[in-house]
Structure 1
Amino acid sequence: MVVEEIDSIACSKLLEAIAHFSYGFFLDSGSGIYKNDLGRYSLAGWNPFLILKSRGSSVQLIQKNRVINKRGNPFLVLRDILDKYRLASTCQDLPPFLGGGVGYLSYDLCHFWENLPCKAKDDLCLPELYIAFYDRVLIMDHLEKRTFVSLIVPSPNKSNLIIKERIEEVKRLGQKNVVAKKDKRRVLRPGGVLLESNLTKQQYLQAVGKAKNYIREGDIFQVNLSQRFHAKLLVSPHRLYQSLREINPAPFAAYLNFNGIKILSSSPERFLRVRDKEIETRPIKGTRPRGRNKQEDEKLGKGLLASQKDRAELVMIVDLERNDLGRVCQHGSIKVEELVKLEIFPTVFHTVSSIRGILASGKDRIDLLRATFPGGSITGAPKIRAMEIIDELEPSKRSVYTGSLGYFGFNESMDLNIVIRTFLVKNDDLYFQVGGGIVADSDPEEEFQETLDKAKALISSLYNHRKV
């Protein structure tokens, strides 16, 4: 393992380069605008040495153009890979990710651990687990304003030559413009794109009504319902992401370019972080739009904090997450660090909690995922019954939406977001999905409007007329 400091690289130039690698990634913490642990590091990589993807129990491994197909649980294959390439303990002062797997876990992987119905249509037909493994990573430390490249080298005898070659390759990335095919697609003006939902407004309101019936009957306390929008892609994906990150910088944003599938995320929500056996989850519940002026902005923020409905939703999910973590954490280690905290984002306010625990002896990250995935903030409570109702009321499988995206370090670290506020690009089709938590006193019209509030940054980025 080698970590070497290099000259800084502009995020715009880095993204331009990453966009033209078939397995390039950029885990983007908002270029350091979040002056805390949430936004300290941004990570980038390309040219993975191994790729893992799965649909159902069909698992595929790709390494050096060799393809291995097998059947089984993809989480167990992931565990085997992480064990095989495990690094020795690293210095506390080093960044948390120095090499490992980067990719996504789709929401629909929940079927591996729970006996759930499959009524919703799988119309996107994407891999359910898609992770690429990297032995070279570019790390931007926004707090210290330093940039590093980390390298995992296979042999001490060859390491000096490999280190020199790979560091020079990273330096070249920041020194010259990428030669790319001319992209005639443009940034859109208002009215230039037709958005279609998989639910009409009336259908969404009816789904909220059915969810409230289940709540009255005692099946659930809360359920998250969403609608998915579709449009034809008329914008270069990486330019669309640049527009999105300008309008809505987020601490758990990401750009993935995985062989024809592109994910452009501006997620504000951390699902799970693991470092040195310490776990953190940060569920979000409660949303208000930002105000048009300072007075309205202050009123909306205070109104969210004072809302008993939103507080009850969040506390309910905190209890669910504590229970999930209790399956794999040391007894007595689970603490609620922040119960209801107002967090301010460019287009919305959110209320957020922070729950921490210590991973128990004999448990690993896969055990943690089995206990907690998918996140309770985007399912409801009780979780399993809520997921059954989601499958009944939503017409399409969620796929990447409300799954998780992030990294699995070879040093036993992990940091995953909840995939919300996210564009999915497949070929020339663009999708995004937005939802909200339904409780006993939910107003269907207000719940529908909340989904539109959450979509505001995504829609605005489509119509952003600035040259990016």
Structure 2
Amino acid sequence: MKSTKINISSFPNYWKNLSNWSNRFQYVAILYPQQITQYPFGAFPKCIAVGNKKLNLNPPYFQSLKEFLQKNPDKNLYGYLGYDLKNELEKLNSDNPSSIDWSPMSFFEPTCIIRFENNEITIESNDLEYFQKDIQKVLSQEKEENIFTPSIKNLQSWTSKKDYIKTVKTLRQHIEEGDIYEINYCINFSASVKNFDALQIFQKLSKESPAPFASFLKMDKQYIISASPERFIKLKDNKIISQPIKGTARRGRTESEDLENKDRLSESEKERAENMMIVDLVRNDLAKSGKTGSVKVEEIFGIYSFQQVHQMISTISAIKKKEIHPVDIIKNAFPMGSMTGAPKISAMELIEQYENSKRNVFSGSIGYFNGENQFDFNVLIRSIYYDEQTQTINYQVGSAITYDSDAEAEYEECLLKAKAIEKTLGII
């Protein structure tokens, strides 16, 4: 791709103007990192990618993606990995009902990428003259946009509090019997919507819940609106990075209460045990792709604060084996242990048994490839999923269940994680 730079310091509405401009394309990826101070190994790069050409991927999807990148090693790609890709990796299934149906994997090849850094944007395209002229015009626009207030109807929680507590008690029995050590149990909410502008909802969610891996993805008529705080996996300069989140505490109403909640999370034996189990799982996943002896825990039990919650985050790294393909690195770690539990296969079997809705892309990942040997993917949590054709949305939340879990407290944690989404949608 050819490239050119434009200084944007004299365009105060540059971000909103360019975001709105992107929506004219069939496929759109917006990466909008926030709250990234001292985040280990950085966050998503701030960028907008647009295009009208989706990859023709077929089962087995990971192999199909790998073959495309082997033939096109310099391509930029943006898209998602759905949780149900697990079914092509293990003898698993996904038979629960769903409010929105998604393809297990979807990527597009952008015709234009806008990268943001300080007071400049870099425009990359093979049709540079056209896009430079068009973007220059868009930057100068001062026209007021229409503000849409979504109408949410038939909001449904697929799991009652009573059923949630009953299921958690059953899952604790599985833990006591040695079937699993930990499981990420999730619940689903869905609704019918009208007057729903996905891009405006993304801008609002980003304000309500700023996050280092926030992203917006438009694939045909389906949208993912994400305020994800979690990185699944990154590859850069042959170094593999994974940063699982396990451990959550509410932000305090006062500075002293906030500090107290943060300290309590840091010192919690339960939260540390949850985090350590997933660290061990991730170490094992990265060892499949990393050089012998290169797997390293860079940070354990780190506490990071976001607008709604404090989170316990650990960072694990490895040096890529020379012979392994980047797509196989993702495949070897998918789905992420923070959204399954341990052991991973047993946990996924029980997730299918006890959750009452299909996860689809929830607990999958949005990400990108900058050529064959560089990628970064988030964990799809704190996200809204919207189907424009059926006028349906859904969102899912969950928490890690261990033997020490208190069902009431876990349910309250789920509601806390849903708070920013529900505030954005005008439900609360």
DSSP-derived class of the 1:202 partner:
helix
Structure 2 contact 213–229 (Cα < 8 Å) conserved: yes
Once residues 269 and 154 of structure 2 are traced to their aligned partners in structure 1, the CA distance between those partners, rounded to angstroms, is 37
Match for residue 32 of structure 2? 28
Deviation at 1:35, TM superposition (A): 5.5
Deviation at 1:205, TM superposition (A): 1.1
Match for residue 412 of structure 2? 449
- CA gap of 1:415–1:5, structure 2 versus 1, over 3 A, is same
> CA offsets per residue over residues 13-46 of structure 1, 9 Å max, x none?
222222332212211112x764655347211111
Among candidates 211, 215, 226, match of residue 175 of structure 2:
215
DSSP-derived class of the 1:38 partner:
coil
Among candidates 72, 81, 106, match of residue 130 of structure 1:
106
Among candidates 36, 43, 46, match of residue 42 of structure 1:
46
Once residues 262 and 113 of structure 2 are traced to their aligned partners in structure 1, the CA distance between those partners, rounded to angstroms, is 39
> CA offsets per residue over residues 200-250 of structure 1, 9 Å max, x none?
111111111111111000010000000011122244221111111111111
Structure 2 contact 339–363 (Cα < 8 Å) conserved: yes
Match for residue 157 of structure 1? none
Once residues 277 and 203 of structure 2 are traced to their aligned partners in structure 1, the CA distance between those partners, rounded to angstroms, is 36
1:165 matched to 2:130? The reply is yes
Count of equivalent residues: 420
Deviation at 1:445, TM superposition (A): 0.5
Among candidates 360, 365, 374, match of residue 335 of structure 2:
374
Once residues 25 and 85 of structure 2 are traced to their aligned partners in structure 1, the CA distance between those partners, rounded to angstroms, is 27
- CA gap of 1:195–1:295, structure 2 versus 1, over 3 A, is farther
- CA gap of 1:299–1:312, structure 2 versus 1, over 3 A, is same
Deviation at 1:164, TM superposition (A): 2.3
1:401 matched to 2:404? The reply is no
- CA gap of 1:308–1:320, structure 2 versus 1, over 3 A, is same
Match for residue 63 of structure 1? none
Q: Decide which moves more: 129-138 or 419-428.
A: 129-138
Match for residue 73 of structure 2? 86
Match for residue 414 of structure 1? 375
Q: What is the TM-score of this pair, normalised by structure 2?
A: 0.93
Structure 2 contact 44–376 (Cα < 8 Å) conserved: no
Structure 1 contact 34–251 (Cα < 8 Å) conserved: no
1:356 matched to 2:317? The reply is yes
DSSP-derived class of the 2:30 partner:
strand
Q: Percent identity?
A: 31
Structure 2 contact 46–115 (Cα < 8 Å) conserved: yes
Structure 2 contact 18–135 (Cα < 8 Å) conserved: no
Once residues 93 and 51 of structure 2 are traced to their aligned partners in structure 1, the CA distance between those partners, rounded to angstroms, is 38
Runs of 5+ unmatched residues, structure 2: none
DSSP-derived class of the 1:109 partner:
helix
Match for residue 96 of structure 2? 120
Deviation at 1:145, TM superposition (A): 4.1
Once residues 14 and 265 of structure 1 are traced to their aligned partners in structure 2, the CA distance between those partners, rounded to angstroms, is 18
Once residues 40 and 53 of structure 1 are traced to their aligned partners in structure 2, the CA distance between those partners, rounded to angstroms, is 26
| Cα RMSD (Å) | 2.2
1:421 is aligned with what amino acid?
R
1:241 matched to 2:202? The reply is yes
Deviation at 1:135, TM superposition (A): 4.2
Structure 1 contact 422–433 (Cα < 8 Å) conserved: yes
- CA gap of 1:117–1:236, structure 2 versus 1, over 3 A, is closer
Structure 1 contact 317–380 (Cα < 8 Å) conserved: yes
1:460 matched to 2:423? The reply is yes
Structure 2 contact 81–106 (Cα < 8 Å) conserved: yes
Structure 1 contact 119–392 (Cα < 8 Å) conserved: no
- CA gap of 1:53–1:424, structure 2 versus 1, over 3 A, is farther
> CA offsets per residue over residues 437-466 of structure 1, 9 Å max, x none?
00001011111111011111111112299x
- CA gap of 1:199–1:53, structure 2 versus 1, over 3 A, is farther
Q: What is the TM-score of this pair, normalised by structure 1?
A: 0.85
DSSP-derived class of the 1:51 partner:
coil
